[in-house]
Amino acid sequence: MCGTDSPASINKSSLPSANGNDTRSPTCSPDHVLNLEQGDPAVFESYWRKMGDRCTMVISGSQLMSYISDFTNICWFMEPEFEEAVRRLHRVVGNAVVDDRYIVVGTGSTQLYQAALYALTSPGGPEPVSVVSAAPYYSSYPDETDYLCSRLYKWAGDAYEFDKNGTGPYIEVVNSPNNPDGTLREAVVKNRGDEGKLIHDLAYYWPQYTPIIRPADHDIMTFTFSKSTGHAGSRIGWAVVKDKEIARKMSKFIEMCTLGVSKDSQQRAAKIMGLLCDGYQNCKSANKSDDLFFEHTRQIMAERWERLRQVVERNQVFSLPKYPKQYCLFSGELIEPYPGFAWLEAKEEEEIDSQKVLRGSIKVQGRTGRRFGVAEKYVRISLLCNEEEFKEFLERLSTIKSMTSNGH
């Protein structure tokens, strides 16, 4: 999942352009708010620009017109080429078990999260099932769970709290690596017998962000095109599901919610994933690793983290999480995580509102820790912006010497 929210009072000129071409001014004016609240994956655009025509999608006016892709598949609106590409991508990366698993396509992993809630609950229970996730949790889970005031399920907050005091049937969402703080996670609620069910949101479990420590093998795992290759505008996600009935119910949800998923985008995703995989099968032996998507983008993320840590350490106003090196099955090396977000914690005071200070003092828009179920001294900053914005962010951040003198 993504971390994109509706617009606040954000200056348009600091945003990535809608058509994918970089039409911004060469330097960001210091008067403009630098919007790093959403996890818009602009950082990957330059890679795909470099790939040129090889990943250009061409669709004639008479193609892809039917609602139906394959009535013999439980997920009858899924393009067979998309399913094949998803399975191939996971086999190339080794980040999830796909053999003997069902694939369900969704309109982004946002829709698949809701499809999973629907599939894991049934009408007629005495109370809605509690949905929990360990704080700091992805800020959109509460709204996505509660906006329709369903009798099937309800948001119940922090999973640690529920583990201590909660009772009754529950669903725990395990987001790993976690948005906002980048940690690799496991389920928190323990020893509840049959009362608990799990959704694993693995949006960021890709080699540019994290070591691939094992092929994930959980009941319901969701992934998204937005964070794997950076194509958020296509609204494509998928779930890897063990149980046939769960896959059927998830597909039924998507049928009732949107009557399927854009075929144009499914075909485009299949083409782009296919090209990415071709790279590994054709080029790895030739040692041109900079042409390979995950090596290239991991390199960018690594450099950004190095530059960010330098600034943060120099001005001593915030701290960043420290991540242990772990062995990555994909790269065959011991490597550090490079999460898509900086999870900044103010050092100075317990009561400080870090989002407000950043917005007020250096005109950087992040997202407050409060939205993630924790204190306001935390703020999440997207590191998935383009290079110009990232540079501007570091420049502005380096001017902060103290949280109180700058922002109050």
Residues 79-108 that bind a copy of itself (CB under 8 A): 79-80, 107-108
Q: Under the criterion CB under 8 A, does residue 265 sit at the interface with a copy of itself?
A: yes
CA-CA distance, 45 to 20, in Å (whole number)?
8
Ranges within 269-308 binding a copy of itself (CB under 8 A): 272, 275
Kindly indicate which of the ranges 35-43, 87-95, 299-307, 332-340 contains the residues binding a copy of itself, using the contact rule CB under 8 A. 35-43
Name the E strands within 214-347: 220-224, 237-241, 318-319, 326-328, 333-335, 341-346
Q: Under the criterion CB under 8 A, does residue 268 sit at the interface with a copy of itself?
A: yes
DSSP string, 203-253: TT-STTTS---S-B--SEEEEEHHHHTS-GGG--EEEEES-HHHHHHHHHH
**Looking at beta carbons only, is 187 or 257 nearer to a copy of itself?**
257
Ranges within 224-243 binding a copy of itself (CB under 8 A): 226, 230-236
Least separation in angstroms between CB 17 and a copy of itself: 8
Least separation in angstroms between CB 325 and a copy of itself: 31
CA-CA distance, 176 to 188, in Å (whole number)?
12
Selected binder of a copy of itself within 207, 211, 260, 366 (CB under 8 A) = 260
Kindly indicate which of the ranges 50-58, 95-103, 313-321, 327-335 contains the residues binding a copy of itself, using the contact rule CB under 8 A. 50-58
Q: Under the criterion CB under 8 A, does residue 264 sit at the interface with a copy of itself?
A: yes
Q: Under the criterion CB under 8 A, does residue 213 sit at the interface with a copy of itself?
A: no
- Give per-residue burial for 167-206: e unless 16+ CB within 10 Å, then b: eebbbbbbbbbbbbbbbbbebbbeebeeebbbbbbbbbbb
Q: How far is CA 213 from CA 32, 76, 282, 389, in A?
A: 41, 33, 25, 31
Phi, psi of 153 (to 5 degrees): -155, 160
Tokens of 320: 């960043």
**Looking at beta carbons only, is 57 or 334 nearer to a copy of itself?**
57
Least separation in angstroms between CB 333 and a copy of itself: 28
Burial of 286 (0-12, 13-18, 19+ CB in 10 A): exposed
CA-CA distance, 205 to 339, in Å (whole number)?
10
Q: Under the criterion CB under 8 A, does residue 21 sit at the interface with a copy of itself?
A: yes
CA-CA distance, 242 to 97, in Å (whole number)?
10
Kindly indicate which of the ranges 139-147, 173-181, 189-197, 394-402 contains the residues binding a copy of itself, using the contact rule CB under 8 A. 139-147
Q: 36 in helix, strand or coil?
A: coil
Kindly indicate which of the ranges 60-68, 168-176, 181-189, 356-364 contains the residues binding a copy of itself, using the contact rule CB under 8 A. 60-68
CA-CA distance, 319 to 78, in Å (whole number)?
44
Q: Which residues contact 59 (CB under 8 A, 6 or more apart)?
A: 264, 267
**Looking at beta carbons only, is 280 or 323 nearer to a copy of itself?**
280
Q: Could you count the other beta carbons within 10 Å of the beta carbon of residue 283?
A: 14
Q: Under the criterion CB under 8 A, does residue 16 sit at the interface with a copy of itself?
A: yes
**Looking at beta carbons only, is 18 or 350 nearer to a copy of itself?**
18
Kindly indicate which of the ranges 59-67, 207-215, 239-247, 296-304 contains the residues binding a copy of itself, using the contact rule CB under 8 A. 59-67
**Looking at beta carbons only, is 51 or 302 nearer to a copy of itself?**
51
Ranges within 347-366 binding a copy of itself (CB under 8 A): none
**Looking at beta carbons only, is 16 or 369 nearer to a copy of itself?**
16
Q: Under the criterion CB under 8 A, does residue 53 sit at the interface with a copy of itself?
A: yes
